[in-house]
Amino acid sequence: MIKIAPSFLSADFRNLQKEVKKVESARADMIHLDIMDGHFVPNITFGPMIVRDIKRCTRLPLDVHLMIENPDFYLEDFKDAGADYLTISIESATHLHRTLARIKELKMKAGCALSPGTPFDLVKPVMKNLDLLLLMTVNPGFGGQSFIPDVLDKIKIAKDYIKKNKLRAEIEVDGGINPQTAKLVTEAGATILVAGDAIFKSKDYKMVIKRMRESGKVR
């Protein structure tokens, strides 16, 4: 089953509640929230306060994607704000194993993101601790960038590794995902698709989500 996670980075922040209702009725599976600090990535977005407000208007799981330095300082804050999935960027983690263990201790699903230039091998030592492996298909920092096809090989390598070792981690992809690239990433093994511009810049959220979800069935 393919899950679709609209990235609110591309949403209309003048009316977040309305956007939440629109993705709910378009049958999104979860809500993806991008937290950027202006240090790990050259962009600043929002923090736990907005996550809490979104939590108050939906029952969909919140998939919180941290692109920040010192993620350890903020794990409790995002738990309190209502994060269901908490994903840290491997490139900003000092003691990756400990940070993931803390996320689990706080009763959230633990995710780890790899930027396009980061090899899969680096995450292998913690793969069994992960609920989510986020393979970035753009360099993190901005919505609306073009999909990087080089990542397809990494998705296949990760998928094989998960299968061979009977692990539970789901593969999520994020960046430049639309109905066309959705077909490529699902063929390679991704099951959770994050999409910002493709959904929020369209007139018909439901149609785009449906087309992306169906890409996973064409095998």
Q: Which of 4, 9, 130, 208 binds ligand DX5 (CB under 6 A)?
A: 9
175 binds, among ligand DX5, Zn ion, none (CB under 5 to 8 A by kind): ligand DX5
Q: Say how many CA atoms lie within 13 Å of 134 toward its Cβ.
A: 29
Residues catalogued as catalytic: 34, 174
Residue 79 interacts, among ligand DX5, Zn ion, none and using kind-specific CB cut-offs from 5 to 8 Å, with none
Which among 4-12, 49-57, 97-105, 205-213 is the span making contact with ligand DX5, rule CB under 6 A?
4-12
Contact between 122 and 158 under an 8 Å Cβ cutoff? The reply is no
114 DSSP 8-state letter: E
Name the maximum alpha-carbon separation found in the chain: 46
Does 176 help bind ligand DX5 (rule: CB under 6 A)? yes
C-alpha–C-alpha distance, residues 94 and 96, integer Å: 6
Indicate whether 3 belongs to the interface with ligand DX5 (CB under 6 A).
no
Q: Which of 96, 193 has the CB closer to ligand DX5?
A: 193
* C-alpha–C-alpha distance, residues 172 and 133, integer Å: 6
Q: Which of 71, 82, 175, 189 binds ligand DX5 (CB under 6 A)?
A: 175
Q: Which is nearer to ligand DX5, 22 or 65 (CB)?
A: 65
Binder to Zn ion among 3, 22, 65, 79 (CB under 5 A)?
65
Q: What is the dihedral of CA 77, 15, 55, 144, to 10 degrees?
A: -70
By CB under 6 A, which span of 14-22, 71-79, 149-157, 192-200 interacts with ligand DX5?
192-200
Query: What residues between 142 and 161 interact with ligand DX5 by CB under 6 A?
Result: 143-145
Query: Do residues 76 and 107 make contact, with C-beta atoms less than 8 angstroms apart?
Result: no
For position 174 contacting Zn ion by CB under 5 A, the verdict is yes
Contact window for Zn ion (CB under 5 A) among 64-72, 93-101, 143-151, 179-187 = 64-72
The 3-class SS string of 18-87 reads HHHHHHHHCCCCCEEEEEEECCCCCCECCCHHHHHHHHCCCCCCEEEEEECCCHHHHHHHHHHHCCCEEE
Q: Which residues bind ligand DX5 (CB under 6 A)?
A: 7, 9-10, 32, 34, 65, 138, 140-141, 143-145, 174-177, 194-198
